[in-house]
Amino acid sequence: MKVILQKTVDKLGNPGDVVEVADGYARNFLMPRGLAVKASKGAVRHVESLKRAHAVRMNRAKVEAEAVAQRLMATPITIRAHAGEEGKLFGSVTASDIAEEIERQCGVRIDRHDVHLDEPIRSLGTHEVRVHLFAEVDPVLTVEVQSTES
């Protein structure tokens, strides 16, 4: 069955896309939840307005994400942790620790899955961490890990 998506559906498409799906999937899942409507001649004309509205929303969200990225890159994130004599941490600083500190220091809520660390931070000093905010908006933040004694 051909349907027109009204909202973004993961692994299927964006608003305004005309997609072919199984009849049962369309009738039992997409249509009752308002995610899609059956593709008819009148509805196909409605597709362009859906696509324009989606593009406007996406552009607005990208501009907002870029503004947040500028604000985050301007402020280094400071994390205090227990460390030994040689600057090695007792434990490590993880993506969730960084996400919590970003929210605490900058007021920006970021999911821990959007903080990209190759491996947890295990030493004092300055580290660079990439954060995914939006498509093609991945600022690199400066995270400074300090000892709790200083």
Render pLDDT for 125-144 as a digit per residue (tens, 0 to 9): 999 999 998 888 889 999 99
Where residue 32 falls (left for φ over 0; alpha for ψ -120 to 50; beta otherwise) is alpha
pLDDT higher than 70, residue 31: yes
Q: Residue 84: what pLDDT?
A: 86
Domains of the chain by range and CATH?
2-64 (3.40.5.10), 75-147 (3.10.430.100)
Which residue from 29, 28, 30 is spatially nearest to 18, judged by alpha carbons? Answer: 30
Using a pLDDT cut of 90, give the percent of the chain over it: 47
Q: Residue 17: what pLDDT?
A: 87
**How far, in Å, CA of 87 to CA of 64, rounded?**
38
H or E segment and range at residue 80: strand 77-81
pLDDT higher than 80, residue 149: no
Average pLDDT, the chain: 89
Q: Residue 72: what pLDDT?
A: 87
**How far, in Å, CA of 76 to CA of 143, rounded?**
6
